[in-house]
Amino acid sequence: MTDTLRFVDAASLTDLRTFLERAAAVEEGSVRVIAGGPVVAVYVAVLYPVGLSDPTPTVLGLRTFAQDGAGEADVVVPVRSLLERVARLSADGTLELRLPHPVGSVTWAGIAPPRRGWTEHEGLDPAPLRAAAEAGIAEVARAVPAASGSPLVRKVRSEVWSRELPAPPHLPAGAAFAAVALGFLGEDRPRVLTTGPWTRLSSQRGHVLVHRRPWSLRG
């Protein structure tokens, strides 16, 4: 394991910085960095349950970046700390990123999607996904006053983003929100892949991964 990763070029760091900025605007928390071989995978949490009775699905964003070397890591670090270090590298023109000190385990980082065994389905039209995200954002804004506390915010967000989209493969609206908020939704049709409790939306810009609770799976 190493605490330093070397990216292949400045463009990769710029993409990582943009991804982290978008992630921090959605959830001021942590990111999981997994590096091995030529690839660095960065996971961020958009939605996740708090407690056993919380029906909120786990919705993650994933971007992969090329590294110059074979650095290995699997750590959870604060998103703001990582963002600050990436921003400094962009200003200095340096490609070596020293990872921040890891934080204690977070619940969503305890599960990881498999790398193999995915079944591909028909891709989705991006327009309905974008519309669902915009409608949900507006509903949350109407329901949650600016000064509301975090428990109310979490309750409203859970109710809005846990609703299923009308078209198969029965994705929660939070998947559309993640695709829009993280900048993954373009004009191309996102690919849809499934395996077990996982569903993945993949576009040219990144991946949204949804893990459903066992009791929410359709039989």
* Residue 177: C-alpha distances to residues 69, 90, 183, 184, 213 (Å): 34, 28, 10, 10, 19
Are 182 and 200 found together in one domain? yes
- Which pLDDT value is given to residue 32? 96
Please state whether the predicted TM-score (pTM) of the whole model is above 0.75. yes
Looking at the structure, tell me whether residues 88 and 142 fall in a common domain: no
Share of residues in the chain with pLDDT > 70 (%): 94
Query: Could you tell me where the beta strands, DSSP code E, fall in the chain?
Result: 4-6, 30-36, 39-47, 58-66, 73-78, 96-98, 119-121, 191-195, 198-203, 206-211
Q: Which residue has the higher pLDDT, 42 or 148?
A: 42
Q: Phi/psi of residue 84, each to 5°?
A: -60, -40
Q: Does one domain contain both 43 and 98?
A: yes
**H-assigned helices in 126-197:** 126-143, 150-161, 173-181
The tens digit of pLDDT for each residue in 113-141 reads 898 999 999 999 999 999 999 999 999 98
For the stretch 70-115, pLDDT in tens is 789 999 999 999 999 999 987 788 899 999 999 977 889 888 889 8
Tokens for 207, please give them.
């991946």
Domains identified in the chain, total number:
2
Same domain, 126 and 99: no
Q: What is the torsional sign of CA 133, 137, 138, 144?
A: positive
* 83 and 179 share one domain: no
Domain of residue 150 covers: 119-216
Compute the C-alpha angle 192/198/203, nearest 5°.
Answer: 30
Query: Out of 6-15, 34-43, 53-62, 78-87, which region has the weakest mean confidence (pLDDT)?
Result: 53-62
Q: Which amino acid is at 161?
A: W
Write the CATH number for 18. Answer: 3.10.150
